[in-house]
Structure 1
Amino acid sequence: MTVLTAEQKQKWKEDGYLAIPDFFSSEETNEMITRARQLLNEFDIEGHPLTTFKTAEDGEHVGDTYFLESGDKVRYFLETSALTPATASDPAKLRVPPAQAVNKIGHALAVLDPVFRMYTLESDKVRDLARDLGEQQSPRVLQSMIICKQPKIGGSVPTHNDSTFLYSNPPSAIGAWIALEDCTPSNGCLSFLPGSHKTARISSRFVRAAGGGTTFVPVPGVEPNEESWEDMPGWKQAPCKAGTLVLIHGSVMHRSPPNPSEKSRLIYTFHMIEGAEGYTYDEKNWLQPTEAMPFASLL
C-alpha cells in the first residue's frame, strides 16, 4: 500500500528526516499514551538500582548491568535531576514521585507490551510505511522505548546520530519517533540539521567496554568529520502534534533541549536496522539480542 507521496519521499532523501502528521489517529494515540502513563504509574522504586539515563553532555554514559541487560525486558531509567546527590552516609533519593522521575522505559516494548506491539510489529500501517520507504529489504526492530521529557526536569539530548548507537556495517539504522503528546519548542521538541545525513560519517560507535560499562570506539578506516555540527547554521526545530510519526535517518544530526515547562513530552520510538545478507550487527554493540528474543522481523 502506498503511504508516502512523491514529495514526502523527496523530502526524506533531501533532509534525512520526515514528519508524517496524523499517522496515528487520535484514538490510537490515546491508547498508546494511556498505556504509557499506566506503565509510569506502575513503576515501583523498591529494589530499583536507581539507574539514570546519562547523555554525552557530561562525558558519562549509562552502562550498568540493569541497562546492558534490558534488550529483552521492560525497564525504567531515571532522570539524573530526579535524584538527590549520593554521599558516603546518605544514598540518593527521589526528589519527585516515582512516576515523574522516569526518563525512559525500554528496551523491548515492541515485543513484550501488547499495546506497543500492536502499534509496531502488528501494525499494517507501520509495515506499509517500511515497504513504501524502500530503504530496507528486511527491517529488524530493536530498541523500542517510551521517552518522557518530564515537566521541569526533562533533560536535554545532545547532538547525535542514531547509527553511532545502533551500529551496523554498513550503517542502516532508521528511527520511527511517535509523538504521544504535542511536542513544542517549550517542552523539548526535536531539532534537525537537514541534509547532514549526506555528509556525516559514522566514525565512532557506542559499545560494551571490555572492563564493563560502555564507551565509544573508532570505526576502523572512517575518518571523523571535522565539522562542529552543534554550531553549524541551518538547524530546524520540528514541533509536531500528537499522532505524528517522524522518520529519522541513522546518519542525520538531531537533538532536543530540556523541558522547563509544566507540560510533559511523552513519545514512543523504535528503530530498525537492515537484516538482509551483507549487513552485520555484531557483539560489540551495547544492545544485544538474545537467543530467546532475537531482533524481530517487521516484514
Structure 2
Amino acid sequence: MSPVAVTDSELSYLTQKQVAKFYDDGYLILPGFLEQDEVAALMERTQRLLDSFDLEGHPLTKFTTGEEEDESKHVGDEYFLSSGDKVRFFMEEDAVGKDGKLNRPKNRAVNKIGHGLHELDPVFREITLHNSKLKSVARDLKFHKDPAILQSMVICKQPEIGGKVPEHNDSTFLYTDPPSAVGFWFALENCTPTNGALSFLPGSHKTTRISKRFVRLREGGTEFEKLAEDNEPTKDEDYVLETCDAGTLVLIHGSVLHKSEKNRSQATRYAYTFHMIESEPYAKYDGKNWLQPTEELPFSKLFEH
C-alpha cells in the first residue's frame, strides 16, 4: 500500500513527511503523543488491575510467542483463546516454577493483560475509542477506510524475566485479505536498550511475504499454518533499536519485521497496544485467526465512537 499524495494543510495531526516515513520504513515514532496525565492514568489503572485480579482458580497460563525453533510452544489454551472479549492475565514463562506455582508476587509475574481492555475498562476505553488525536492519525495515514480495533493489551515486560519477543510481523497473527493490520503501541514507561525497547527492520514490509498465519484449531489449541516459502534470513545488524520515552506512540505496519529483547534490567517496561484492521467489505477477517469477535463484543469501529 502506498500513501495518498496530500499536503500538510490537508492533514490534521501528522505531517506529509511523517506519513511518507511510515510508508517507507513500515513504522513511525511519535514522541509525546500521550500527555503526562494520560500516561499516569493508564499506569495507575494497570497497577490496580494487577493488584486486584484473583489468583483463585486462575490457570496460570504462561504467554510465549514461541521461538522460531519451537513455534508449537505458543500459548493456545481456552483461557487464551476466549480472551478477546475479556480482561485476562497471562504470566511470564519464568514466573511459574516447576511446581506450577508463582515464584514471585503476582504483580511482578504478569506478562500481559488483554485482550478486551479497550472496550471493557473505562480508562483504556477513553484513551482508545474517544481519542480525537488518535482518530486524526488514523485519518491522516489513510491506511483504512473503516478501521476496527481489536487485541488491546498492556505488556508488562517484567524486570529480569520479561521475555524476548522474536522477529515477527503482526499480520501473521491478525490475518486479513488483503493484509491490513496496523499496531498502535504506546510506551507507558521509558524504553531503553536494557529493558526491551522495540527494534525494527526498516522497509521490510515491502519485501517480506506473510509466509504463515497463527490459527486456532477446531480441536482446540493453535498452530502456525504455512502460506508460502519462508523469507530469506535477516541480519541483526540491519535492525534499528528504537528507544523512546513514556508517552510515545509507535505506529507499526502489519508486515514490518520487529522484535524486542529480554528485559535484563531491574525496571519494568509497560506498554499499551492495540491493532487496527480494515472492516468488511474492504478486507475479510480470517475465520481461522486465533482471536474472533463475539456477539457480546464485536470489533469496535473507531469512527463510530
TM-score range (shorter-chain normalised) is over 0.9
Q: What is residue 82 of structure 1 aligned with on the other side?
A: 95
Q: Establish whether residue 95 from structure 1 lines up as the match of residue 84 from structure 2.
A: no
For residues 15 and 246 of structure 1, what CA distance do their matches in structure 2 show?
A: 12
Does the Cα contact within 8 Å between 1:204 and 1:217 map onto a contact in 2?
yes
Correspondence for 2:129 among 117, 121, 132: 121
CA gap 1:238/1:36 in 2 versus in 1, 3 angstroms = same
1:137 equivalenced with 2:145 (yes/no): yes
Q: 2: distance between equivalents of 1:232 and 1:81?
A: 25
- Rounded to whole Å, the distance in 1 between the matches of 2:180 and 2:237 is 26
In the TM superposition, residue 43 of structure 1 has moved relative to its aligned partner by 2.4
2:212 is equivalent to residue 204 of structure 1 = yes
- Aligned-residue CA RMSD (Å): 1.1
Residue pair 2:19, 2:140 contacting (<8 A) in 1 also: no
What secondary structure sits across from 1:48 in the alignment? coil
Match of 1:99, SS state, is: helix
What is aligned with 2:158? 150
CA distance in structure 1 between the aligned counterparts of 2:163 and 2:286, rounded to whole angstroms: 30
1:266 corresponds to which letter in structure 2? Y
How far apart are the structure 2 equivalents of 1:233 and 1:84?
35
Offset of residue 133 of structure 1: 1.0
Note if 1:214 corresponds to 2:219: no
Contact 1:200 1:225 survives alignment (8 Å): no
Structure 2 residue identity aligned to 1:34: E
Q: Which runs of 5+ in 1 are unaligned?
A: 87-91
Which letter maps to 2:266? E
For 2:12, the aligned partner's letter is: T
Give the match for residue 256 of structure 1.
260
Give the aligned residue type for 2:219: G
Choose from 204, 208, 233 the match for 1:228.
233
TM-score (norm 2): 0.93
SS in 2 for 1:120: helix
CA contact (8 A) 2:178 2:284 kept: yes
Which residue pairs with 2:4 in the alignment? none
- Residue 175 of structure 2: aligned partner: 167
- Which runs of 4 or more aligned residues in structure 1 lie more than 6 Å from their structure 2 counterparts after TM superposition? none
Structure 2 residue 185 is the aligned partner of structure 1 residue 177: yes
Query: Does 2:7 align with 1:7?
Result: no
The TM-score, its normalising length taken from structure 1, stands at 0.95
SS in 2 for 1:33: helix
Relative distance call for 1:150 and 1:232 in structure 2 (3 A) is: closer
Deviations 1:149-183 (A, max 9, x none): 00111110000000000000111000000000000
1:105 maps to which residue? Answer: 113
Deviation, 1:282, is 2.5
Number of equivalent positions: 290
Which ranges of structure 2 fall in alignment gaps of 5 or more residues? Answer: 1-10
- Quote how far apart the aligned CAs of 1:232 are: 5.4
Tell me which residue corresponds to 2:292. Answer: 288
Structure 1 residues 271 and 125: CA distance shift in structure 2, 3 A: same
State the percentage of identical aligned residues.
56
Pairwise CA distance, 1:225:
4.1
